[in-house]
Structure 1
Amino acid sequence: MVRGVILATDGVCDSQVEYAFYRLQEEGALVDVLTPGGEAVAGSRGGEWDDSVSLSTCAAVERYDLVIVPSGVRVDAFDGTALRSWLRAHDAARTVLAAIGDGVGVLARLGVLRGHRASGPPAASSEMPNDDVEWCDEVVTVDGHVVTAGRGAALPYLVAAALDSTVLRQRADDELTERPAWR
């Protein structure tokens, strides 16, 4: 079973959180909304999420298979160092990381996209750090365990690609653990 988490802060794009949350649930995933202190947050259009978890309660990398960063997530609302460490640990563990719109910028600014191909908002190449990021002009870019999309309209494709990547990764892990040891 897929276990996902969606980052959210006050001002996050409501529709992106709601779509990702319910789409993942439709596929049988367990989904958490991660907020800076586990407190309720309000989206840019009034949506509220009060049943959330904090970064400290979900520190274990193995807890999640998928992390989604929607538009409007404010890094300054989190302890920036803790969020950077948490995201980098997920990157190192090859957890599927999916970001859309300026959520891609969050990953770029925290150094998580270093060495990856990524689609970002139209001005990504000039506004975001280019630390070894190969910026693409694709609707959705899948580079290993990193899935990105520059525009909100691509959200259904981003979530589908992230789910596909997560499920394929789980199947590969299951096959590795089910194989008999060679002698």
Structure 2
Amino acid sequence: MGFISMHVIDPWLLRNDENAYYKDQWNHLVSTLLSSSMHWSCYRPRRGGLLVGDNSVCFSGVVGTPPEDIPLAFFDHGVEIGFGNFRRLTLPLGSSLAVIISRDPQDASRLRVADINRYTVFNSREFVAHPPGWTKAHPELACELPQLLKRQRMLAPAFLQGYAPGGPQLASSHPPTHS
């Protein structure tokens, strides 16, 4: 949340502040998000099932011609994506609510819970989490999760500087047990 506050909310508040320094009134991310080419949607899956992760803003897809030396699937991991060429941002806020900001107005209606969870896992750096009982309530998604985590653990060291082997981890919101 600190990242969102520092890089989105604070610059958003300063953009019309006459007393702010001019350089603080403009922010590339805020400018991109305010552009008319971005479509904002709330995403509420009927049965929930969304994961949350340590990286609250999940980039996926690319706009324009992608670099030839990077496999297309890497763009769903946020590789080589910046504020100028991302296709969509997904922000899972809990198990039953996400915000989708996309250059394609149809993205929100096309995406499934499994798609958003894939972007969450692939953009995570340390952990993804779900509420207690999630695996029983969402067996198909739970079946897919270990494979997604395995793929992220394998690919992340290829493009993350200083990434420690083994992450991201799955976290459940069960209270800790003590023996």
Q: TM-score range by the shorter chain?
A: under 0.3
TM-score, normalization by structure 2: 0.28
**TM-score scaled to structure 1, two decimals?**
0.27
Which entry has the higher C-alpha Rg, 1 or 2?
Answer: 2
The higher relative CO (CA closer than 8 Å, separation ≥ 6) is in: 2
